[in-house]
Amino acid sequence: MDRSQISTRHLRIYGTLGPACADEAVLAAMLRAGMSGMRLNLSHTSLEEARELLALYRRAGAACGLSPELLIDMQGPELRIGALPAPLSLEEGALAPALPFPRAVAEALAGAPAGQELLLDDGKLLLQKEASGLLRVRRGGLLTGRKSVALPGLRVESPALTQTDLQNLSRAREFGVTAVMQPFVRGPEDLAALRQALDRAGCGEIRVLAKVENLEGVRALEALIPGCDEIVIARGDLGNAVPLWELPGLQKRIAAACRRAGRDFMVVTQMLDSMIQRPVPTRAELSDVFNAVLDGAASVMVTGETASGKYPVEVIRYLVRTVREAEKYLQ
């Protein structure tokens, strides 16, 4: 690739808010390390419920002399199982117990043929429908509540924004939101619905980030680009929509389309995943981050690494240093 095609401005670097970094000193250290802002995942909470955490974040920013960005990730048409009273162990080869699926998922499954697959928790667990209608565990593990559900090959109808999303958007200005991430974008109409909701809330200046994480979004990419401020290559669920070995090539094609159109894009999911448990990333993870910069990403983001991992400050340090090294390489 011609390096002249790639902007050499500093990339934006985001973490994700969560219990692991719910401390003013930790947040301040992350900001001082070079973090641009943080994401709040509203699939698990609301702006009001996160008020105390967001206050910590703002105080940390003030202590650093910064006004860091706040990105909120909507519920949108993403599908999740309901709450579970306790983590549930799903044993490979066993029949799955009854699970609290959303009605739309249950209805889609009922009409699906035997052999239909169902992915849970970003594909970590795999169930398959049998002729009896029951689900057999093909890839087991520990399942907790509110994890994602995907039905490869099936369209499950759901609105672009939930009532909870609309309530959160109505308070976006109050909480200092700077950008909204719309998940599972299926077409430009999903982005139009978000823009309209922001306008009604008096927040038309807030940036809109379109998460491409299903094949509908991939097919509609050219139409999505004009309707958003940034495309998000969300590799978690996108990796459920295609065989994993096809995902790197798909990421490259989306990045190339964004470059051609002059549209910013973000790369996210499992960038430093091993650091959830380890203080040092793998060489492959750092290469992944470096290559995202070389592909022209305007921003990168980590999720569970800072929300629930053991080493949130170290994650940001490695992420920032790797990004800056890649930027030097492009100069």
pLDDT tens per residue across span 181-217: 999 999 999 999 999 999 999 999 999 999 999 999 9
* Domain harbouring 256, CATH code: 3.20.20.60
**Structural domain includes residue 269:** yes
Residue where a domain terminates, one of 150, 171, 195: 150
Among 11-15, 41-45, 161-165, 235-239, the range of highest mean pLDDT: 11-15
- The domain that holds 118 is classified in CATH as 2.40.33.10
Cα separation of 268 and 172, whole Å? 23
- pTM greater than 0.85 (yes/no): no
Q: Compute the average pLDDT of residues 289-301.
A: 98
pLDDT at 158: 83
> How confident is the model over 92-118, as a mean pLDDT?
94
Mean pLDDT of the chain: 94
Of 46 and 156, more confident: 46
Alpha carbon distances (Å) from 102 to 39, 78, 80, 153: 25, 11, 7, 18
Question: Considering the domain boundaries, does residue 171 fall inside one?
Answer: yes
- The residue type at 281: P
Same domain, 32 and 117: no
Q: Is residue 272 part of a domain?
A: yes
pLDDT reported for residue 261: 98
| pLDDT band for position 111 (cuts 50, 70, 90) | very high
The mean pLDDT of 43-62, rounded to a whole number, is 96
Beta-sheet strand order (sheet of 135-139): 135-139, 125-129, 117-120, 149-150
Residue 246 predicted with pLDDT over 90: yes
- Do 109 and 238 fall into the same domain? no
Share of the chain above pLDDT 70, in %: 97
CA pair distance 216, 184, nearest whole angstrom: 8
232 and 292 share a domain? Answer: yes
Place 93 in a pLDDT band, splitting at 50, 70 and 90.
very high
The verdict on 132 and 165 lying in the same domain is: no
Q: Given pLDDT bands bounded at 50, 70 and 90, which one contains residue 4? A: very low
The confidence band for 10, taking pLDDT boundaries of 50, 70 and 90, is confident
* Domain extent for 92: 88-150
Please work out, in degrees rounded to the nearest 5, the angle formed at the alpha carbon of residue 85 by the alpha carbons of 83 and 90: 85
Last residue of a domain, one of 150, 177, 192: 150
- Give domain status of residue 83, yes or no: no
Is residue 224 exposed (0-12), middle (13-18) or buried (19+ Cβ within 10 Å)?
A: buried
Q: What is the DSSP letter of 187?
A: S
Question: 186 with 65, same domain?
Answer: yes
9 pLDDT higher than 80 = no
Q: Extract the tokens encoding 191.
A: 């982005």
Task: Please list the active-site residues.
Answer: 39, 80, 211, 269
- Give φ, ψ of 233 to 5 degrees: -85, 95
Of 118, 150, 182, which one is at a domain's C-terminal end? 150
Q: How confident is the model over 306-321, as a mean pLDDT?
A: 98
- 210 plus 305 within the same structural domain: yes
What CA–CA distance (Å, rounded) separates 147 from 236?
12
Q: Does any domain span residue 141?
A: yes
- What domain count does the chain have? 2
Residue 212 lies in a domain: yes
8 A C-beta contact, residue 47 and residue 175: yes
Looking at the fold, whether 269 and 199 belong to one and the same domain comes out as yes
Domain annotation covers residue 155:
no
Pairwise CA distance, residues 148 & 122, whole Å: 6
Whether residue 113 is found in the same domain as residue 252: no
Residue 273 has pLDDT above 70, yes or no: yes
CA 50 to chain centroid: 18
Mean pLDDT of 79-84: 88
Whether residue 298 is found in the same domain as residue 212: yes
